[in-house]
């Protein structure tokens, strides 16, 4: 599987100098942007050189057997090309072309032909109808048509991270990577699986067990082999987050027109996810917004939450949300309440703890009292950044959370653009709404419970992350 | 009621030159920032002048009877001050001080005393425990402790808009106004009602029927007079959007510690809202994000929606969401499908309509075909801005929507910061997620149905807005 993400040599079949040629965009990215140091070849009808990469008119003519073939030509040419790949000894192929199982009977017949050749020759295939792979650490990417000069793309390769994505749609890849730029956790690998005629999400979950991945994010339009997926997820020692289209009959039909899957029964899928410890996402946005609760914070080991706000209204709002999410507003012990009373300036010493204008030490004292309290499993700080010192207090909170191995899901009741800027500049795991923060706590607790059920808590710290992967040392993501 | 929002003279009781004095922040805003042209007086124990406004040691000493008294002193002094107001003939009072019904038995006793004096003297009161009022058109604001130099505050007064807010919490006022700066619709009036011992949300709904308000946004922690609220909402010819805390027992308790309300039965409230045509909000964010579907788009008069995307995955996602929201994925007629086929470059001519890379005219043709189709009530465009021309197409879509009197809830599958920038610069009603866009359609249709049920469709256009209020002509909100 490694060769899909870290090939030492690549052939781009279909790259040419014709205007608007998509294959050439892959050559351009490898050469001009990624400065990829393996051999790259172009195959096109004229055998012409593409952006300095030597061109050949057919695969058998190549001077070596490349680790990976990336195919981006009209569907009708693909079966012949796969046959050529087999003859040349190529064992890893990405088919980016569309027009197979999602393209009617002719497409389906071609798919069967390709499958047979691949099976006979031990070829592993990604796609068809996909964008291919990206590996931030290996500085490799075979996505077509992407503008690599986008600042978001820069960020991916400059600050490798710990989320790996398996995504069955190019559009969702682009949106998620773009959104992640404004969020906290970096990308490790991305793979767009398209119609997944061979390599599927289960193979990739298994593969991501062994690399720098800390969280696996998945977007699916259909499931071909449910048993295989659930088995891979059940064994996963890393959180598996899945958004699946097709909750309704209408959604399933629409997804079929896109990547040719079978409609799956959503309720069965839901029950299977719970069994396998899969976290089912409620929106596309959660693909980028939720992982930080795993990578930046300890897991939530119980359901008892203390809310702490400097903006009274959010206490009530969060109490509603916590209870609706299946968590509990903890009843603070008399001792804890006594300690809070001594801090002074606390309007409400019962949960939600509510303060007015107060100096930094008040914030720090309350963090310490709540997180050290035996009855508290996790914290929901809803703290408006009305003075810059609140940011310093939140940075300190990160350390207190680590000390007590309890998580805090931070929300700053400020306009979204402000909160996003604070998150990026100070590398604080700030969620974008109260709803999202509560959801993160709920997901953390559900995941912890599933680790227990699956007997997977023994040999790794009960802590979402190693907290030492390189993307965290990069400081500011945004200016 | 007008005097609360447009007083010709004001006394700020409790404004002094003591450091951190809150009353002086009101004087500073009126003088230095708003250049308020009515008379302003300060009342404090020394009778000292505050920022050039003449000071007096008691209300009876004032040289005139001000239209409005704003009181911000310790709670124990408030009953005496109300008595002084009565003696001086002041009939409109904002009590910003806290410490009444939310402050235990002594507070409750003081509240009863104040109520009695006010009743005997025909005084209308706002608060206590509130921020007061803001009127963008009158350039009046008596909020304490607000930093008026914030760009968000500038925007409010420079570009008056059409939403009026009734909010039972200072923190939510600040968050909503700050968020609105990054959204499309401007503010008309804002009133923070706090413990609402006299003027309540029902009085204000009634008042907002007669001014420039187009949409009424309300945040409530408790409801004192449910019948009165529902009656006012039922008669409202403007959409009434309500977020209410206290869906759960825990939420209701937390809210009580904040503004001293009774816990209300949420299910009864929910049923009453449906009867009265109140739109119940699902999150605080909806206070600023939803109104644009009313002010910028025609109402949705049926449930049949066509989705149109240039990023295949979003077709399936939106189909799920539309059906879950009680709307329908319309089955396009053979004629409509035929027209779409003729456009060319359409992957899927059934709903969701899905296109690949295509020129502007393709977008415009599809907008026209779908919105002119008899079977289509509204449009869900999920269009990634992969080229700047997509923005021009969306601007054109606004006109097509008006022509056919059908709404479109636009979502651009780009990172949130990009979408927000496009929204502000081009004044396009772009929603922040697919979920939010679908929710906007659902809310528009629910509101239309409630207008029919309440027999309120006769004498106003079936169109959310006059589309001629001044904030729309301001062009760019953000650079």
Q: Closest partner residue to A251 among B251, B253, B316, by Cβ?
A: B316
Residue A463 has pLDDT above 60, yes or no: no
**Structurally, what CATH architecture does the domain formed by B1-129 represent?**
3-Layer(aba) Sandwich (3.40)
Residue to test with chain B: of A250, A266, A269, most B Cβ within 10 A = A250
Distance CA A131, CA A143 (A): 5
Q: What is the pLDDT of residues B174-189, one digit of tens each?
A: 888 888 888 888 999 9
When pLDDT is averaged across residues B310-329 and rounded to a whole number, the result is: 89
pLDDT of A479: 29
CB B383 within 8 A of CB B412: yes
B420 to chain A, closest Cα gap in Å = 9
Bridge-based pairing state of the strands A215-220 and A163-167: parallel
Q: What is the pLDDT of residues A26-64, one digit of tens each?
A: 999 999 999 999 999 999 999 999 999 999 999 999 999
Bridge-based pairing state of the strands B187-192 and B132-135: antiparallel
Q: What is the pLDDT of residues A285-334, one digit of tens each?
A: 999 999 999 999 999 999 999 999 998 778 888 898 999 999 999 999 99
Question: For residue A470, what pLDDT band results from cuts at 50, 70 and 90?
Answer: very low
Q: Closest partner residue to B258 among A249, A283, A312, by Cβ?
A: A312
Which chain A residues are Cβ-neighbours of B144 within 8 angstroms? none
Distances (CA, A) of B386 to A171, A288, B370: 11, 20, 22
- Alpha-helical (H) ranges within A236-387 are 249-259, 266-276, 286-289, 291-295, 313-324, 334-343, 360-372
Tell me the sheet residues that pair with B463. Answer: B298
Q: Closest partner residue to B254 among A247, A250, A352, by Cβ?
A: A352
Max CA distance (Å), chain B? 82
* Helix, coil or strand: residue B302: coil
Residue B471 has pLDDT above 50, yes or no: no
Q: What is the pLDDT of residues A171-191, one digit of tens each?
A: 888 888 888 888 888 999 999
CB B130 within 8 A of CB A313: no
The helix (H) or strand (E) run that includes residue B2 is: helix B2-5
Distances (CA, A) of B469 to A370, B133, B211, B212, B214: 50, 21, 12, 8, 9
- Supply angle C-alpha A98, A103, A109, rounded to 5: 100
Residue to test with chain A: of B174, B320, B414, B425, most A Cβ within 10 A = B320
A247 to chain B, closest Cα gap in Å = 6
CB contact under 8 A, B219 and A418: no
When pLDDT is averaged across residues B251-269 and rounded to a whole number, the result is: 66
Could you tell me where the beta strands, DSSP code E, fall in A360-403?
A: 378-382
Which chain A residues are Cβ-neighbours of B258 within 8 angstroms? 312-313, 315-316, 348, 354
Question: For residue B391, what pLDDT band results from cuts at 50, 70 and 90?
Answer: very high
- Helix, strand, coil abundance in chain B, percent, nearest 5: 45, 15, 40
CA-nearest residue to A256 within chain B is B316
Q: Which CATH class name applies to A298-463?
A: alpha beta
- Helix, strand, coil abundance in chain A, percent, nearest 5: 45, 15, 40
Task: Give the residue with greater pLDDT, B266 vs A19.
Answer: A19
CATH 3.40.50.720 boundaries in chain A: 1-129
Q: What is the pLDDT of residues A100-120, one digit of tens each?
A: 877 788 899 999 999 999 999
CATH 3.40.50.261 boundaries in chain B: 150-296, 298-463
Which chain A residues are Cβ-neighbours of B433 within 8 angstroms? 283-285
CB contact under 8 A, B414 and A285: no
Return the number of other C-beta atoms located less than 10 Å from residue B374's C-beta: 9
Structure token pair of residue A316: 């009530």
Residue B151 has pLDDT above 70, yes or no: no
User: With 0-12 CB in 10 A as exposed, 13-18 as middle and 19+ as buried, what is B479?
Assistant: exposed
Q: Closest partner residue to A245 among B181, B285, B316, by Cβ?
A: B316
Distance CA A156, CA A140 (A): 11
CB A185 within 8 A of CB A212: no
Q: What is the pLDDT of residues A195-206, one digit of tens each?
A: 999 999 999 999
Helices and strands (H, E) in chain B, number of each type: 18, 20
CA-nearest residue to A355 within chain B is B258
Which chain B residues are Cβ-neighbours of A179 within 8 angstroms? 415-416
Question: For residue B467, what pLDDT band results from cuts at 50, 70 and 90?
Answer: very low
Query: Mean pLDDT, chain A, as a whole number?
Result: 89
CB A163 within 8 A of CB A213: yes
Q: Which CATH class name applies to A150-296?
A: alpha beta
Distances (CA, A) of A9 to A53, A144, A201, B308: 12, 17, 25, 40
Distance CA B294, CA B286 (A): 13
């Amino acid at each position: 599987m490694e060769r899909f993400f870290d090939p030492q040599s690549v052939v781009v079949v279909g790259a040419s100098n014709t205007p608007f040629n998509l294959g050439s965009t892959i050559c351009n990215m490898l050469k001009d942007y990624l400065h990829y140091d393996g051999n790259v070849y172009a195959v096109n009808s004229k055998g012409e050189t593409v952006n300095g990469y030597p061109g050949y008119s057919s695969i058998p003519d190549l001077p070596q057997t490349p680790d990976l073939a990336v195919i981006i030509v009209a569907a009708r040419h693909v079966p012949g090309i796969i046959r050529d790949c087999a003859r040349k000894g190529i064992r890893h192929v990405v088919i980016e072309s569309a027009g197979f199982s999602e393209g009617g009977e002719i497409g389906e017949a071609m798919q069967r032909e390709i499958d047979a050749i691949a099976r006979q020759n031990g070829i592993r295939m990604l796609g068809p109808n996909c964008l291919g792979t990206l590996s931030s650490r290996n500085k490799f990417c075979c996505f077509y048509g992407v503008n690599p000069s986008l600042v978001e793309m820069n960020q991916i390769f400059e600050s490798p991270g710990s989320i790996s994505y398996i995504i069955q749609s190019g559009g969702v890849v682009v949106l998620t990577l773009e959104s992640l730029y404004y969020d906290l956790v970096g990308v490790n690998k991305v793979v767009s699986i398209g119609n997944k005629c061979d390599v599927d999400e289960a193979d990739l979950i298994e593969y991501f067990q062994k690399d720098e991945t800390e969280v696996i994010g998945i977007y699916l339009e259909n499931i071909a082999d449910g048993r295989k997926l659930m088995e891979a997820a059940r064994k996963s020692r890393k959180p598996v987050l899945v958004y699946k289209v097709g909750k309704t009959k209408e959604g399933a039909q629409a997804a079929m027109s896109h990547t040719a899957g079978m409609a799956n029964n959503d309720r069965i899928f839901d029950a299977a996810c719970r069994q396998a410890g899969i976290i089912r996402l409620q929106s596309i946005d959660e693909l980028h917004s939720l992982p930080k609760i795993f990578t930046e914070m300890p897991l939530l080991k119980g359901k008892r939450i203390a809310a702490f706000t400097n903006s009274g209204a959010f206490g009530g709002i969060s109490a509603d949300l916590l209870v609706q999410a299946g968590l509990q507003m903890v009843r603070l012990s008399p001792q804890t309440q006594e300690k809070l009373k001594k801090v002074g300036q606390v309007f409400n010493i019962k949960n939600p703890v509510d303060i007015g204008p107060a100096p930094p030490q008040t914030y720090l004292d309350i963090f310490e009292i709540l997180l050290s309290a035996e009855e508290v499993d996790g914290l929901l700080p809803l703290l408006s950044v009305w003075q810059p010192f609140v940011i310093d207090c939140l940075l300190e909170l990160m350390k207190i959370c680590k000390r007590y191995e309890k998580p805090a899901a931070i929300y700053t009741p400020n306009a979204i653009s402000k909160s996003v800027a604070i998150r990026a500049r100070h590398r604080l795991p700030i969620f974008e709404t109260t709803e999202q923060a509560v959801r993160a706590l709920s997901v953390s607790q559900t995941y912890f419970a599933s680790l227990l059920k699956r007997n997977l808590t023994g040999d790794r710290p009960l802590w979402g992350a190693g907290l030492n992967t390189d993307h965290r040392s990069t400081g500011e993501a945004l200016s």
